[in-house]
Amino acid sequence: MLKIGLTGLPALTFDMTNSIKNPGDVLIRYLNNARWGAGLSNAVLDVNSITSTANTAMKGYANELVSYTNNAGASATHPRWEINGYISTFEDCLTNIQKICQASATFFFVLIQSKVNSKLYLTTKSIYIRTNR
């Protein structure tokens, strides 16, 4: 039943729980998901550079433990990077990919080889074209 005089929605709050915190896992899931992500196949991605546990891959680098001193003055460790937020499906895919990468101090680029042997590199900070001659 519609109430007369209703002019807006009340304040809404919600709790969100997600077990995926590693930026490499978050990125690959976003890249693969056709419903709310980019919908890309692993065949067109360098999956190893995203999900490998080596410290040269996004996942491995993010999982490296860094030391810090906690509030009690004791030494502790924590993974270098974690994602604890949400992605807006109202943003375009590139913007969301940039946000995931920026939140973990990494970058993402797309390499496209065309018939004229030009390569387009797309990074989170710039777009530039290099032509092989």
In a domain, 6, yes or no: no
Strands (E), the chain: 65-69, 75-79, 110-113, 118-122, 127-131
pTM score above 0.75: no
Task: Give the model's confidence band at 118: pLDDT under 50 very low, under 70 low, under 90 confident, else very high.
Answer: very low
Q: 76 lies in a domain?
A: yes
Residue 69: inside a domain, yes or no?
yes
The boundaries of the domain holding residue 64 are 23-34+41-107
Confidence of residue 122 (pLDDT cuts 50, 70, 90): very low
55's tokens:
């410290």
Q: For residue 72, is it within any domain?
A: yes
Band (pLDDT 50/70/90 cuts) for residue 2 is low
DSSP summary character for residue 45: S
Q: What is the pLDDT of residue 24?
A: 92
Domain count, the chain: 1
On whether residue 54 sits in a domain, the answer given is yes
